[in-house]
Structure 1
């Protein structure tokens, strides 16, 4: 029999993390402390068990894209086709439906999960592709005559400025299916985990671009390329490429052997820049969406 319970203790959170680490070994999973800091009233994290053994987990929360919630029911391989996925899906959909969301979305990374989503009425709405870069001997980027690069560790006051001066404009241009909704609180809490590996380009005290690495305590020799953006008026002038080279150099200096990033379908400029910097292609992740209420 499948039983579900809400994640509450640090031990619960670690069990939840281990499910995701098992199923998505190449993806960074936030630490227990990070997950705790992300808690908010609309967020639900659950564990599924069979005979007291963890069989899967789920999460439901407001999406960063307006007008929908995000869910992720995941089942460990040895427990599939035993009703675990359906029980998780039902609980997550009931939660977000009760909050009044008109639609729900989920990322799908394998054919079996895609088939499960389609059976319950989900349809594909977007795709993201992974790009991967091996880190070798990386030269420090040459100083640019038009701007200065500084780390947030050295200038922490620039991170909220980066939100107001760059991010608010840049997220409007992202190749997504509905508008991004990121508050300053979320920016300061969720969009940075290593100030020393987060860099901004500055002109006359104003931030014009940013790039970062998200470090991984479970795989310290790998890092995810965080949000990279620059002002529209500075695009095509070497800001993003210089910032990305800065993160590559920092990675090499700190024992990181591989960097990966995800780009949405339609973000051709960033894909081309990554290709130019030596990134190669990896996995594909598909976004499936359904209106609510969902028939489960």
Structure 2
């Protein structure tokens, strides 16, 4: 078995195909998106035997402070042969080389959880997936008085400018065990939906909601960040923005929209349920200290 870094576009496409096979219920980043995220902090691996791909791995600086995220995945027909263990050890070594003290991982099935716990990972957070099935175009309530809603692409630079006030508040509000540490670069690259609707008051962003489109499954999309600034909560702005994204999805041939919400975010879970989302899956976030035993 050989484990090598992804270098060529063909490597990246093979990496994508492993994720599509193992996580078919979520969108997988396109080749262009993966390439846009290239950095010395990120490691993408492929495990092969001869010309056969066995699995892949991802390690990078996590958005949780002082942590590195690791994701070893093995195709079902090649499991229980030590491939996942070999991948995990190389991924952990990469995180250690970044000077980070903690490893983080996410699982959504029992075999993956058992594998992680064998290596000393312990649960730190839970979240649920909620899914909205679109059959007709949803109604959209009006935005609150004083709010103008625009698409981010109509106002270039506005998303980046929102980072200091709106972005930092939105990130602080996540119900997680460790505060998020998201740079302006990652805010700009990873947190902007397409489309992304921005609610403006006096020219500043007071709320947002959008979608991540799925190039492999064009009828499916993931909700991107939905957030409202504290001084605008309780006025129906979050409902308007979420309904607006669902209406856009319906008008563009999307029939399923899903989102992940943390255990502690009861307000967003309640909003999603009120809009008609159904709970479809549970995810578990785990963590452990380095070095990996």
Say yes or no: TM over 0.5.
yes
Task: Give runs of aligned pairs for residues 1-296 of structure 1, distance below 5 A.
Answer: 2-137=1-136, 138-194=138-194, 197-295=195-293
Q: In 2, Cα distance between the equivalents of 1:118 and 1:143?
A: 46
More off after superposition, 242-251 vs 95-104 = 95-104
Per the normalisation by structure 1, the TM-score is 0.96
After TM superposition, the structure 1 stretch with the greater mean CA deviation from structure 2, 243-252 or 146-155, is 146-155
Give the Å deviation of 1:49: 1.1
SS of 1:153's equivalent? Answer: helix
**Residues 112-162 of structure 1, C-alpha deviation per residue, up to 9 Å, x if partnerless?**
111111111111111111000011322344353231111112222321233
SS in 1 for 2:161: helix
Distance in 2 (CA, whole Å) between partners of 1:143 and 1:40 is 39
Answer with 94-103 or 221-230: which moved more. Answer: 94-103
| RMSD over aligned Cα atoms | 1.2
- Once the two structures are overlaid, the 10-residue window that deviates more, 136-145 or 178-187, is 136-145
Residues 121 and 290, structure 1, Cα contact 8 Å, conserved in 2: yes
Question: TM-score, normalized by length of structure 2?
Answer: 0.97
Matched residue count: 292
Q: Deviation of residue 187 (structure 1)?
A: 1.4
Give secondary structure in 2 for the equivalent of 1:88: helix
Please list the CA deviations of residues 196-225 of structure 1 after superposition, one character each: whole Å capped at 9, or x if unmatched: x21011112121101111111011111100
> In structure 2, what is the Cα distance between the partners aligned to 1:44 and 1:90?
13
After superposition, the C-alpha distances for 1:154-195 in whole angstroms (9 at most, x for unaligned) are 22232123323311111111101111111121111112252x
1:220/1:256 contact within 8 Å kept: yes
Query: In 1, are the aligned partners of 2:193 and 2:210 still within 8 Å (CA)?
Result: no
Segments of 5+ residues of structure 2 without an aligned counterpart are none
Structure 1 SS opposite 2:24: coil
Q: Aligned in 2, Cα 1:193/1:171: closer, same or farther, shift over 3 Å?
A: closer
- Secondary structure of the residue that 1:281 maps to in structure 2? strand
Q: Distance in 2 between matches of 1:162 and 1:211?
A: 14
Ranges in structure 1 where 5+ consecutive residues have no aligned partner: none
Please, which moves more after superposition, 144-153 or 228-237?
144-153
Please give the alpha-carbon distance, in whole angstroms, between the structure 1 residues aligned to 2:117 and 2:161.
42
